[in-house]
């Protein structure tokens, strides 16, 4: 009799241990581990794009999940650095060769954000969304006059004429400006080519829309920069239909947000009076629109 009681207690203990393990796994990973059926992945591209690693990791996860039949890009970004914008565009283009990729522009999807949207087979935008801004910008600051005022001398030893180009310690020369302009013109042509190819616009049409102007979603549709006016739900419905999903699809959001437990475990104590510094410099060329100062 005692042995039977112990056996029952052991089974109950193992059952609750299993449930606790599943619960902890869900808390730690943030995954809907119990879900099943066909899925639509929603990749949220937000804010200024300087580091694309989290998005690249998400694309890899999406590729490897056989349940995901379609992908929707939810773009809320004014753009960012040229390199990450181009890299995401290229990766998403490849992703679209396997399964449908549809873009949805919410409040803003401009410059590099619009560049990335062009990787989709269809672009939705809200009528009042801000998009377009097809162009390149590089900004430099000079402290030369301030250093003169402060009577501070800075010496730079370099290996070539352009090695310290963009330095804040000296005024830019005409040759410097010509050199930087050449770089900007080159990546500008790359931007125009990508948009023209993806949107089916010829050179004359591209010259009309690629002057750095921003457009509302409604204006962008008239210019051929977006396909449909609609919400993210419209984009999900189209992606589901294009993928042949029957019924209501489950949505899986990327990049995965950390659970409150993981955020607590990985949180750092801030010391009052001490501020952090950016982990990466933001020097470079940008597909970026400055809508709000």
pLDDT-derived band at 1 (thresholds 50, 70, 90) equals low
In contact, 99 and 68? CB cutoff 8 Å: yes
Q: Does residue 51 lie within any of the structural domains?
A: yes
Looking at residue 5, its pLDDT comes to: 47
Looking at residue 218, its pLDDT comes to: 98
Q: Does residue 8 lie within any of the structural domains?
A: no
Looking at residue 3, its pLDDT comes to: 55
Work out how many domains the chain is built from and give that number.
Answer: 1
Q: Does residue 267 lie within any of the structural domains?
A: no
Q: Does residue 275 lie within any of the structural domains?
A: no
Q: Does residue 24 lie within any of the structural domains?
A: no
Q: Residue 203 and residue 187: Cα distance in Å, rounded?
A: 16
118-171: pLDDT as tens digits: 999 999 999 999 999 999 998 888 888 898 899 898 888 999 998 989 888 888
Q: Does residue 141 lie within any of the structural domains?
A: no
pLDDT at 32 over 70: no
Q: Does residue 30 lie within any of the structural domains?
A: no
Instruction: Let me know if 142 is exposed, middle or buried by CB neighbors in 10 A (0-12, 13-18, 19+).
Output: middle
Looking at residue 293, its pLDDT comes to: 45
pLDDT-derived band at 108 (thresholds 50, 70, 90) equals very high
Average pLDDT of the residues of the chain: 83
pLDDT at 178 over 60: yes
Higher-confidence residue: 162 or 89? 89
pLDDT at 55 over 90: yes
192-242: pLDDT as tens digits: 999 999 999 999 999 999 999 999 999 999 999 999 999 999 999 999 999
- pLDDT > 90 in the chain, percent: 61
Q: What is the pTM of this model?
A: 0.79
Q: Does residue 156 lie within any of the structural domains?
A: no
- State the residue range of the domain holding 83: 36-136+202-260+280-288
Looking at residue 258, its pLDDT comes to: 59
| Residues noted as catalytic | 111, 163
pLDDT at 31 over 50: no
73-83: pLDDT as tens digits: 999 999 999 99
CATH of the domain at 86: 3.90.226.10
């Amino acid at each position: 009799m005692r042995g039977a009681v112990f056996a029952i207690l052991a089974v109950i203990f193992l059952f609750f241990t299993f449930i606790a393990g599943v619960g902890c796994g869900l808390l730690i990973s943030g995954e809907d581990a119990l879900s099943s059926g066909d899925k639509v992945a929603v990749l949220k591209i937000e804010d200024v794009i300087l580091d694309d690693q989290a998005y690249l990791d998400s694309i890899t996860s999406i590729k490897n999940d056989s349940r995901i039949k379609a992908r929707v890009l939810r773009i809320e970004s004014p753009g960012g650095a040229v390199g990450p914008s181009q890299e995401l565009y290229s990766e998403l283009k490849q992703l679209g060769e396997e399964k449908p990729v549809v873009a949805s522009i919410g409040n803003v999807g401009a410059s590099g954000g619009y560049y990335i949207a062009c990787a989709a087979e269809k672009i939705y935008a809200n009528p009042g969304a801000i998009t377009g801004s097809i162009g390149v910008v590089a900004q430099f600051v000079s402290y030369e006059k301030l250093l003169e005022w402060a009577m501070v001398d800075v010496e730079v030893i370099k290996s070539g004429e352009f090695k310290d180009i963009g330095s804040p310690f000296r005024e830019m020369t005409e040759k410097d400006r010509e050199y930087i302009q050449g770089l900007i013109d080159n990546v500008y042509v790359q931007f125009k080519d990508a948009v023209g190819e993806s949107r089916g616009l010829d050179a004359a049409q591209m010259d009309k829309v690629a002057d750095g102007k921003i457009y509302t979603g409604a204006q962008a549709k008239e210019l051929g920069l977006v396909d449909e006016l609609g919400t993210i739900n419209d984009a999900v419905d189209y992606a589901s239909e294009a993928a042949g999903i029957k019924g209501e699809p489950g949505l899986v959001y990327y990049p995965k947000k950390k659970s409150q437990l993981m955020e607590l475990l990985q949180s750092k104590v801030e010391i009052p009076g001490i501020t952090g510094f950016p982990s990466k410099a933001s020097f470079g060329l940008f597909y970026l629109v400055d809508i709000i100062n």
